[in-house]
Structure formats: structure tokens, C-alpha cells
């Protein structure tokens, strides 16, 4: 009876699995702050994508960890960069069996750890960064990405990437914009996963959203859609359910939410101590994200949730 009258239905079709692929390793490496999550090499990545395909998970999003970093994040757009190589190999093997998304940012590839190019005084140069984003988008599209996902929160990023893609014939490549990405304290495990540390102990409050604001995020979402975003996203998810609900009420494009590393890690840590039933809490949180209005959920629980929901 409860299933019959349920108002919210979470499905495997709602899930996107974030995957990390690292250059120069012989086998997958566990990430200590994300139990059960690893940095893949190309071989283990193929095995994991096959597992997700078999479970019915419809999409993955790739994050790269390069061997070398520099001031402009060269590896992010290098055709031989780790994410481009991974995209090419996964697309060649799996074709359209699974949607391939690629995180489009510079922080994993820069030696200063910021999402954009940095001026001599240490501030991020928004406009100069847009050209780099366009270059990265083209490299990812050429490598086989179905979707590019700009996460840097630079003003004008969607328009610059869309123009770049369309100018080279990649008009069928979609853009999932991180439109409401908050300056959250919940990203710590992710930064371990991609080996990112902001030089000088700085932060990203000058370009990520203020956690105290909602109206500001609604304006950012509207701007991204006007610039050509095919999908938009709110990040983090559980602590921003009100933002997801507000966005759901105003957008007519698919709405994503990122159940971020800190949200995952807290569940895992409490479950390891026997304080909660981790699986039930994870499923409850994913259902809450869906109930708030998300159409797709990026979550490190994707494979587990697919098994629970089967």
C-alpha cells in the first residue's frame, strides 16, 4: 500500500556516478576520506563503467587527476590529458550505452588550486578564464563526451563554452551547468580525491555562492539557461534542499543535484561507528533530493543505490 501511494519515486534512472581517473598509476587507489571510492587507472575505470552499465546506471561524470599541474591547467584541454584519454577509451568501448559527462574546470589541473586563471595579485581573472573553458569544452567534446559540466562558477562560462562548441560542430554536446554551486565546507574529501589544495590557504568565496543566499542563485540559474545551458545543477544537495525546490519551481530544463563528498563521508563515518544504518540514511537522503525536485542526482552512492532499487 505504501508503494502504491508513494508520492516520490527514486529510480536508478535518476543516478549519475562520479568517477576519478588518475594518470600514472598501475592500479586503483582508495581515497581515505571516501570509503569505497577510488582513483581509477584506465583499466579499473573500464571495469567500473561496465559494472555501472550492468546495474543500469545511465550516466557517469569523470574527474581527472593529472601527473603535472601548471598555472593555466594545461592538462584540462590537452588531447592526451587523462580525462580526454579516458573519455575516448570509454566512448570507444561503450558507445551510447552510458552517458559520458566530463567535469569542466581547471582546479584539478592548476598548481594554485583555483578554478580559473590567477592574476599576479592572486585574484581569479574571470574573463581570461572563459577562453580556457571554451578550449577545455572542445577537447572533451572531441574526446567523446556527451555532456560537459562547467563547475568553475565563472560569469559567462556557459555562453563561452556553447559558442565554442557550436563553432566547431559540437552543437549536439549538452552543457550541464553548475549554476548554484555554494562555497561549502563539504568538499573536503573531494579535494583529497583530486589532489587539490588552494595555494596560501585561500578559498573560493569570490566566485562560489554565499550559503546565506537563495535569490542570488536563482539569478545565476536564469543567466546560465539564457546562455544555453541544457541542464542546471545545485551543489551541495542535502543542505540546500530549499534551493533545489526553488529552482525546480522556475526552470523548464532538467535539474541536477550533487550529493557531495562531505555528505557521503558523513554517512559512511557514522555508519562505521554503528550510530546509523548507513544504507537506509543514504536512500532517505537521495529520496529527499528527488522529492525536493531534482531530476538527476550525482552521488557516490550510485552503484549501491542502483542495487538497492533493483
Task: Report residue 206's pLDDT band, with 50, 70 and 90 as the boundaries.
Answer: confident
Res. 200 pLDDT band, cuts 50 70 90? low
Supply the mean pLDDT for the chain.
Answer: 96
The pTM is what?
0.95
Share of the chain above pLDDT 90, in %: 92
pLDDT at 310: 87
Residue spans per domain, the chain: 12-309
268 is catalytic: no
Question: In the annotation, is 290 catalytic?
Answer: no
CATH number of the domain at 12-309, out of 2.60.120.10, 3.20.20.60, 3.20.20.70, 3.90.1150.220? 3.20.20.70
What's phi and psi for 43, nearest 5 deg?
-70, -50
Among 69, 181, 268, 290, the one annotated catalytic? 181
What burial class does residue 235 get, using C-beta atoms within 10 Å of its C-beta: 0-12 exposed, 13-18 middle, 19+ buried? buried
Q: Which of 69, 235, 268, 290 is catalytic?
A: 235
Amino acid at each position: 500500500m505504501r508503494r502504491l501511494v508513494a508520492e516520490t519515486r527514486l529510480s536508478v534512472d535518476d543516478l549519475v556516478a562520479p568517477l576519478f581517473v588518475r594518470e600514472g598509476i598501475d592500479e586503483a587507489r582508495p581515497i581515505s576520506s571516501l570509503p569505497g571510492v577510488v582513483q581509477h587507472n584506465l583499466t579499473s575505470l573500464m571495469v567500473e563503467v561496465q559494472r555501472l552499465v550492468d546495474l543500469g546506471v545511465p550516466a557517469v561524470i569523470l574527474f581527472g587527476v593529472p601527473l603535472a599541474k601548471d598555472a593555466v591547467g594545461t592538462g584540462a584541454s590537452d588531447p592526451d590529458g587523462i580525462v580526454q584519454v579516458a573519455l575516448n577509451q570509454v566512448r570507444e568501448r561503450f558507445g551510447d550505452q552510458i552517458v559520458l559527462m566530463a567535469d569542466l574546470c581547471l582546479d584539478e589541473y592548476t598548481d594554485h588550486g583555483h578554478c580559473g586563471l590567477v592574476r599576479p595579485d592572486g585574484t581569479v581573472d574571470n574573463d581570461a578564464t572563459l577562453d580556457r573553458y571554451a578550449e577545455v569544452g572542445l577537447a572533451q567534446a572531441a574526446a567523446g563526451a556527451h555532456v560537459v559540466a562547467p563547475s568553475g562558477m565563472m560569469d559567462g562560462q556557459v555562453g563561452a563554452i556553447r559558442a565554442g562548441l557550436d563553432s566547431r560542430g559540437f552543437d549536439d554536446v549538452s552543457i550541464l551547468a553548475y549554476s548554484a554551486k555554494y562555497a561549502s565546507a563539504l568538499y573536503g574529501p573531494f579535494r583529497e580525491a583530486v589532489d587539490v589544495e588552494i595555494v596560501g590557504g585561500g578559498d573560493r568565496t569570490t566566485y562560489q555562492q554565499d550559503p546565506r543566499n537563495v535569490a542570488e542563485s536563482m539569478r545565476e540559474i536564469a543567466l546560465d539557461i539564457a546562455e544555453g545551458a541544457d541542464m542546471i545543477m545545485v551543489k551541495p544537495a542535502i543542505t540546500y534542499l530549499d534551493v533545489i525546490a526553488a529552482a525546480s519551481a522556475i526552470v523548464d530544463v532538467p535539474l541536477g543535484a550533487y550529493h557531495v563528498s562531505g555528505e557521503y563521508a558523513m554517512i559512511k563515518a557514522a555508519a562505521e561507528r554503528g550510530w546509523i544504518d548507513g544504507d537506509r540514511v543514504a536512500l532517505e537522503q537521495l529520496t529527499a533530493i528527488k522529492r525536493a525536485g531534482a531530476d538527476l542526482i550525482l552521488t557516490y552512492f550510485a552503484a549501491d543505490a542502483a542495487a538497492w532499487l533493483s
